[in-house]
Amino acid sequence: MKLAPLIAILLVLGACAPHAVPSFGYKPEAVAGITRARCIEILGKPQDSQPFSMPGTNLAAEAMTYQFGQVLVQNGIVVAVSINNDPAFVGPFGIKLGMSEDDLRSALAHHGHHAGHVELYDAIGRQSDTRTKDIYDDTDHMMIELTATNANDPLAPFNVAQVTLANHPGMILIEAFTKARIAGLYPDVHVDNFVSNAWQIGR
């Protein structure tokens, strides 16, 4: 067979083949509880790494930034892994970024009972206003952040924007961050219309 026809056939076959969803580096082995060193073995070196402390508290951690999101480390141990930028990510119970709130509820309801609390608020930045819903699932040690598709429409649906997989210290840390923003300790983002309610789903 001549080379040109062979190349043409291969190009056609390639075009017909399903395209893999691009991954931005998250790997499911990177979870709360592993050491910082093991995390870097799995994910590679972070793009950036900065220590931070929570104003008015004794909470502190190291934030390691990756293309897919962030990893929080306390005393050499990973306490939380946040994924907000990886199209290939599939979390517990099939949770995906961009998933609608209705699909999220359905996914959770089909996998037993889940309980915790939900925080609703407007996160107002210098150039943006985001209606946010943070579900703290204490049963499964994760926080699911949903944002409204239109901040100016009170009836706009919510979609999953971030999933944070955490242990108990990690859950305390990420909730304290929201409380610090409510208290005005981070002037770049103002929190308004904050409401916290008990939350549960499933049997």
The lowest-confidence range among 4-8, 24-28, 98-102 is 4-8
Could you tell me the pTM of the whole model? 0.86
Query: Please, what is the Cα angle at 192 between 190 and 193, to 5 degrees?
Result: 165
Between 4-18, 45-59, 173-187, the lowest mean confidence (pLDDT) is in 4-18
pLDDT higher at 1 or 58: 58
- State mean pLDDT over 191-201: 94
Average pLDDT over residues 17-43: 85
pLDDT exceeds cutoff 60 at 69: yes
**Alpha carbon distance 159, 139 (integer Å):** 21
For the chain, the domains span: 32-201
Band (79; pLDDT cuts 50, 70, 90)? very high
Contact between residue 56 and residue 184 where contact means Cβ atoms under 8 Å apart: no
CB 71 within 8 A of CB 83: no
- Return the minimum-mean-pLDDT range out of 78-87, 95-104, 120-129: 120-129
18 pLDDT band, cuts 50/70/90, is: low
Contact partners, residue 116, CB within 8 Å, separation at least 6: 135, 136, 137, 138, 139, 199, 200
pLDDT of residue 50: 95
Which residues, in sequence order, are bridge partners of residue 114? 201
